Amino acid sequence: MIRKAFRMSVNHGQSDEYERRHNPIWQELTDTLKAHGVLSYSIFIDPATRDLFAYAEIESEERWAAIAMTDVCRRWWAHMREIMPSNPDNSPVSRPLSEVFHLGGR
Protein backbone atom coordinates (compact mmCIF):
# COMPACT_ATOMS: atom_id res chain seq x y z
CA MET A 1 0.00 0.00 0.00
CA ILE A 2 1.25 3.45 -0.95
CA ARG A 3 0.33 6.60 1.00
CA LYS A 4 -0.08 9.82 -1.00
CA ALA A 5 -0.74 13.33 0.22
CA PHE A 6 -1.22 16.54 -1.74
CA ARG A 7 -2.56 20.07 -1.40
CA MET A 8 -5.13 21.89 -3.46
CA SER A 9 -7.33 24.90 -2.73
CA VAL A 10 -10.84 26.26 -3.18
CA ASN A 11 -11.67 29.65 -4.68
CA HIS A 12 -12.82 32.40 -2.33
CA GLY A 13 -16.48 31.98 -1.38
CA GLN A 14 -16.68 28.43 -2.77
CA SER A 15 -15.92 26.28 0.30
CA ASP A 16 -19.58 25.43 0.95
CA GLU A 17 -20.13 24.56 -2.71
CA TYR A 18 -17.00 22.38 -2.71
CA GLU A 19 -18.33 20.45 0.25
CA ARG A 20 -21.83 20.22 -1.26
CA ARG A 21 -20.46 18.69 -4.47
CA HIS A 22 -18.71 15.99 -2.45
CA ASN A 23 -21.79 15.00 -0.43
CA PRO A 24 -22.42 12.67 -2.02
CA ILE A 25 -19.69 12.31 -4.59
CA TRP A 26 -20.79 10.69 -7.85
CA GLN A 27 -21.14 6.92 -7.43
CA GLU A 28 -19.50 6.38 -10.83
CA LEU A 29 -16.42 8.26 -9.59
CA THR A 30 -16.32 6.25 -6.35
CA ASP A 31 -16.52 3.04 -8.37
CA THR A 32 -13.72 4.20 -10.66
CA LEU A 33 -11.46 5.11 -7.75
CA LYS A 34 -11.99 1.71 -6.15
CA ALA A 35 -11.51 -0.10 -9.47
CA HIS A 36 -8.16 1.67 -9.84
CA GLY A 37 -6.87 0.51 -6.46
CA VAL A 38 -7.77 3.43 -4.23
CA LEU A 39 -8.19 1.89 -0.79
CA SER A 40 -8.90 5.08 1.13
CA TYR A 41 -9.23 8.74 0.16
CA SER A 42 -9.87 11.72 2.43
CA ILE A 43 -9.90 15.46 1.79
CA PHE A 44 -9.71 18.02 4.60
CA ILE A 45 -10.25 21.79 4.37
CA ASP A 46 -8.72 24.60 6.40
CA PRO A 47 -11.59 27.11 6.52
CA ALA A 48 -9.25 30.01 7.31
CA THR A 49 -7.12 29.56 4.17
CA ARG A 50 -9.37 27.42 1.91
CA ASP A 51 -6.43 25.01 1.56
CA LEU A 52 -7.32 21.39 0.93
CA PHE A 53 -5.23 18.52 2.24
CA ALA A 54 -5.86 15.24 0.43
CA TYR A 55 -4.68 11.85 1.62
CA ALA A 56 -5.04 8.61 -0.33
CA GLU A 57 -3.96 5.03 0.17
CA ILE A 58 -3.42 3.34 -3.18
CA GLU A 59 -2.26 0.02 -4.57
CA SER A 60 0.02 1.40 -7.31
CA GLU A 61 1.19 4.68 -8.80
CA GLU A 62 0.37 3.45 -12.31
CA ARG A 63 -3.26 2.66 -11.48
CA TRP A 64 -3.58 5.98 -9.63
CA ALA A 65 -2.25 7.88 -12.67
CA ALA A 66 -4.66 6.00 -14.97
CA ILE A 67 -7.64 7.53 -13.15
CA ALA A 68 -6.89 10.85 -14.88
CA MET A 69 -7.55 9.21 -18.25
CA THR A 70 -11.07 8.05 -17.37
CA ASP A 71 -14.15 9.80 -18.71
CA VAL A 72 -15.68 10.19 -15.26
CA CYS A 73 -12.55 11.84 -13.87
CA ARG A 74 -12.45 14.28 -16.79
CA ARG A 75 -16.13 15.12 -16.24
CA TRP A 76 -15.52 15.59 -12.50
CA TRP A 77 -12.63 17.98 -13.18
CA ALA A 78 -14.84 20.02 -15.53
CA HIS A 79 -17.59 20.02 -12.87
CA MET A 80 -15.16 21.37 -10.24
CA ARG A 81 -13.21 23.82 -12.42
CA GLU A 82 -15.26 26.89 -11.54
CA ILE A 83 -14.81 26.49 -7.80
CA MET A 84 -11.09 25.70 -7.52
CA PRO A 85 -7.85 26.72 -9.22
CA SER A 86 -7.46 24.46 -12.27
CA ASN A 87 -4.93 23.63 -14.96
CA PRO A 88 -5.70 24.03 -18.69
CA ASP A 89 -6.89 20.38 -18.83
CA ASN A 90 -9.37 21.15 -15.97
CA SER A 91 -7.37 19.10 -13.44
CA PRO A 92 -7.10 20.84 -10.08
CA VAL A 93 -3.87 22.66 -9.34
CA SER A 94 -2.17 20.47 -6.76
CA ARG A 95 1.17 20.09 -5.04
CA PRO A 96 2.43 16.73 -3.84
CA LEU A 97 3.56 16.47 -0.22
CA SER A 98 6.45 14.32 0.96
CA GLU A 99 6.01 12.05 3.93
CA VAL A 100 8.45 12.82 6.73
CA PHE A 101 6.89 10.74 9.51
CA HIS A 102 4.49 7.83 9.80
CA LEU A 103 3.37 5.84 12.83
CA GLY A 104 1.39 2.75 12.06
CA GLY A 105 1.41 -0.88 11.22
CA ARG A 106 1.11 -0.51 7.47
**Annotated catalytic residue within 12, 22, 79, 102:** 22
Q: What is the rounded distance in angstroms from the CA atom of residue 4 to the CA atom of residue 96? A: 8
Torsion of Cα atoms, 15 then 20 then 26 then 30, to 10°: 60
Q: What is the rounded distance in angstroms from the CA atom of residue 36 to the CA atom of residue 43? A: 18
Check if 22 is active-site: yes
* Helix ranges restricted to H, the chain: 15-21, 27-35, 61-66, 71-80
Active site residue ranges: 22
